[in-house]
Amino acid sequence: MDKETRIHYVGIIMNGVTGRMGKNQHLLRSVLPIIKQGGLKVSDDEIIMPRPVLVGRNASRLKKLSEESGISEWTTDLDSLLKRSDYPLYFDAQTTEQRYESLKKAIWAGKHVYCEKPVALNVGDSMELYHLALKAGIRHGVVQDKLWLPGLVKLRKLIDQGFFGKILSVKADFGYWVFEGNTVPSQRPSWNYKEEEGGGIILDMFCHWRYVLDNLFGAVKSLTCIGATHIKERFETDGSFYKATADDAAYAIFELENGIVVQINSSWATRVRRDDLLTIQVDGTAGSAVAGLREVWVQPCSATPRPVWNPDIDNQVNFYDDWMKIPSYETHDNAFKIQWELFLRHIVKSEPFKWDLLEAAKGVQLAALAQESWEKRLWTSVPELK
């Protein structure tokens, strides 16, 4: 006789999913696909089934998203939802300046919390959230999506296989041209360029760089950074003008505990002439690799050309020719969806999940130290958070 399938329904309060990231990556490409695939199978006779409710401040946008997604439940009343026991999980994808207070309320209400980053505007508030979560005894996690990008998964395998020999350095280049909004619509919301609303590429991207460095290459020992507001005038969607007050580019060097030197350029004011919007080059004694979002190219020591500096003649080497593209041996699901599934297993089956609110605070810490380095023009050490 077949066993009866046990379904673990998990009510999820999804706050801020009318925004670009919350809607596209978390609702439409993560939670909804889990539902449409029949839930998350965790054993032969167990399934985890998300049951989301949409939350936000704009009723008309919520109604439209409800119709588009097929999620019938929505509300603008977060406080009432936090009182309901049938929604044990709170997810936050609001703008950064709103996240801290909402997360705090959810933790006080005894909800498990999963959230976008940065979790707060400063390290003190980030650590407060972590300690509140520990005291409340709830499960907590932060989105660290780039760890599951196909390109970084392949890069992690090369590291684990010892392909590089001794890793010497890492160079990452991230960014693209974000239009000002007057002639071509901007690809990013205006709050990204307003410091008073939690904007800025340092606060946004250094939370990513912290977990990428920590999980792939090693703990950060020290850093130096200079930021810039290259584009000082931008336009709202209604055509009105505003002055950009937040940084739109950052140029940083990191020293890792293991001696690896890392350079990362982050910019919303650059035009792309490279393999992808994010490329990470790893150079080692035995070989090098360049990872994009999905693909990785490698060059072992045995296939490394021997260029000679001679600016008086045309270059004789096409430096792209001596790189080999790593084949894909497996299909790769959406990176956000993969981490959603891991967190759902964590809260239902108590499986390990190390990307918690302490890891979130580490990202905010790196951004704060980069800001300090820029303001004071110094190298700064990275102390341990506890």
269-278 confidence digits (pLDDT tens): 999 999 999 9
- Tens of pLDDT, residue by residue over 98-130, are 999 999 999 999 999 999 999 999 999 999 999
Domain boundaries for CATH 3.30.360.10 within the chain: 146-334+364-381
Segments of the chain with pLDDT less than 50: 1
Q: Where in the chain is the domain with CATH 3.40.50.720?
A: 6-145
Residue 1: its pLDDT value, please?
40
Q: Rounded mean pLDDT of the chain?
A: 96
CB 242 within 8 A of CB 190: yes
Q: Are 104 and 346 in contact (CB under 8 A)?
A: no
What percent of the chain clears pLDDT 70, i.e. is strictly above it?
99
Give the burial class of 159: count Cβ atoms within 10 A of its Cβ; 0-12 exposed, 13-18 middle, 19 or more buried: middle
* Site of tokens 């360029």: 193
- For position 2, what pLDDT does the model report? 57
Q: Is 282 helix (H, G, I), strand (E, B) or coil?
A: strand
Task: Determine how many CB atoms are found less than 10 A away from the CB of residue 135.
Answer: 9
Q: At what angle do helices 357-376 and 123-136 cross, to 10 degrees?
A: 170
Backbone conformation region of residue 200, classed left if phi is above 0, alpha if psi is from -120 to 50, else beta: left
Topology annotation, domain 6-145: Rossmann fold (3.40.50)
How would DSSP label each residue in 144-171? -GGGGSHHHHHHHHHHHTTTTSSEEEEE
Determine the Cα–Cα distance for residues 358 and 283; give it in Å rounded to an integer.
30
> 129, 114, 120: which is closest to 96 by C-alpha?
120
User: Using CA atoms, how far apart are residues 221 and 213, in angstroms rounded to an integer?
Assistant: 11
DSSP labels for 218-276?
--EEEEEEEEE----EEE-TTS-EEE--S-SEEEEEEEETTS-EEEEEEESB----SSS
Provide the pLDDT for residue 226.
Answer: 98
For residue 236, the model assigns a pLDDT of 94
Q: What is the CATH number of domain 146-334+364-381?
A: 3.30.360.10
Confidence (pLDDT) at 357 = 98
